Structure 1
Amino acid sequence: MPSAAERTRTLVQSTCSAVLLVPGLSVVHPDQLMPDSRSVGPEGDLFLGFPADSPLVRAATHAQGDELTAVLEITDVAPVSVPHRIRGRARVAGWLTSVPGLAQPGRMMLRLEFGDASIDDLWGYEEVEPEDFRDAVADPMVDHEAELLQHLHAAHGEQMATLSALLGERAECDCPENRPQAVPVALDRFGLRVRFVEGGGACFDARFEFPEPVRDIAELRRAMHTLFEAAAC
């Protein structure tokens, strides 16, 4: 399974919604707290892009030389329609400063020095150490996951439904009309997580591991082909 540090770094470098919170700072519009770019430096610090006139930029600029604490909160929502769509939340806390010269005119880059982090997702709750986060690498599927899950859901619904054949005793019936709806809810280099929605709205998750971790789309296609073949047997 992906480590807590890898899962946190994947969310930081994904397109999931995020807000940067500074104690005592209030804004008129909530979107003023949302960075329009996120990246991770070689030491594990976060670099967050904002308009130069953002209240967060003003707070960081005025606090130069003082310690301004801040927390980046990330919410991960499944890109497909499924019960319980929030897949997880991550938070990274640290100290905020402005970094002139790294952004385009009219923009400012803020640096969030990594202090501590935690993630609460489909794998459970874990805390993340600075060194682990610094050394982690985002999952190679992060830039493609949303599109791939949507494609599987929209174009391969019948094949997804056959995965219930791999559930063993959890599969109540092999009859197609009684199979639970199978919705792909998460994807990473190790495997595919599917949410099975039964009659009455009850649901449960099943995890289908790939024979080997995938590194790119080509390897993912082969892994998915192998998975669907196993379900069809």
Structure 2
Amino acid sequence: MGRPPAPHPAERARTIAALGGRANLVPAADRVTPIVHQLHGDGSAAVVLPDDHPLVAQARSGEVSAVLELADLAPVPLREPVRGLLWVTGWLRALSGAEARAEAVRISESRPDPRLLDVGHDTTVLVLRPASMVLADGAGTTSVSLEQFAAADPDPFCHYEAEWLRHLELRHADVVGSLSRHVPDDLRGGHIRPLGLDRLGLRLRVEAVNADHDVRMAFSRPIATPQELSGELRRLVGCPFLAARRVG
């Protein structure tokens, strides 16, 4: 059986960017957690740091090489919660004055945050000029070109996925149990958890004694509406034959 269809790595990368999960900035010396971060659709990024952070002084003196790491975290409590990582490598520079205020407004248009009001007072905006992008998830590690990233769209269900999966975990254990019938035989007996949802399928995490494994179940076709999603989920629960494949 072939591998079930999955979103293109560029689509996965755009989805991780849209979700805006946990971020770390990795300059030469140490990992830094930004106060606010935003990865834009063109692959550039903005991070907000305290004025007195050493990296701000370095970025005011000239461009600094750095990697922005975005973690895609599962919306349900798993023992291994990171579903994927996106690394954007590039060069940081610090903004000031009108340039910094304009970038703060740009961030707030897609991710409002009251801490952006401190820009120009106690915090500084740094922008990352991207050079390369790498995605790591259950399918492996893949280079994503900046052109591919800019041309892709986030998954249409990305902003509803967390609520739906938490609802499935807490209120519909019977549905998860029905889906577990399609898990490969050698993974039976592990703890089955809802892991992910996208327009092409559903992912389950099997927490076994010695390791975790991810299983992807394909929809019969790409979906775009809640009604189509409902129909595909009913098919997965009730259909005795299903394209399911271990992916991790």
2:98 maps to 1:82: no
- 1:230 paired residue among 215, 239, 243: 239
Q: Does structure 1 conserve the Cα–Cα contact (< 8 Å) formed by 2:138 and 2:214?
A: no
Q: Which moved more, 1:46-55 or 1:12-21?
A: 46-55
Q: Does structure 1 conserve the Cα–Cα contact (< 8 Å) formed by 2:135 and 2:141?
A: yes
TM-score of the pair, normalised by structure 2: 0.74
* 1:53, distance to aligned residue in structure 2 (A): 5.5
- Deviation digits for residues 123-144 of structure 1, max 9, x if unmatched? 1111111211222222222222
Aligned runs of 1:1-233 on 2, under 5 Å? 1-24=6-29, 33-41=33-41, 43-50=42-49, 55-60=54-59, 62-63=60-61, 66-97=62-93, 98=95, 99-102=99-102, 103=104, 104-107=116-119, 108-167=124-183, 180-197=190-207, 200=209, 203-230=212-239
Tell me how far apart the structure 2 counterparts of residues 91 and 148 of structure 1 sit (CA, whole Å).
Answer: 27
TM-score of the pair, normalised by structure 1: 0.78
**Identity across the alignment (%):** 31
Structure 1, unaligned runs of 5 or more: 173-178
Structure 2, unaligned runs of 5 or more: 1-5, 105-115, 243-248
Q: Does structure 1 conserve the Cα–Cα contact (< 8 Å) formed by 2:49 and 2:125?
A: yes
When residues 71 and 212 of structure 1 are mapped into structure 2, their CA distance, relative to the original with a 3 A threshold, is same
When residues 81 and 16 of structure 1 are mapped into structure 2, their CA distance, relative to the original with a 3 A threshold, is same
Q: How many residues align?
A: 217
Greater RCO structure (CA 8 Å; 6+ sep) = 2
Tell me how far apart the structure 2 counterparts of residues 127 and 105 of structure 1 sit (CA, whole Å).
Answer: 35
- Deviation digits for residues 29-72 of structure 1, max 9, x if unmatched? x7x6324241414x332233445565544443x13xx3321210
Tell me how far apart the structure 2 counterparts of residues 230 and 170 of structure 1 sit (CA, whole Å).
Answer: 21
Q: Does structure 2 conserve the Cα–Cα contact (< 8 Å) formed by 1:20 and 1:34?
A: yes
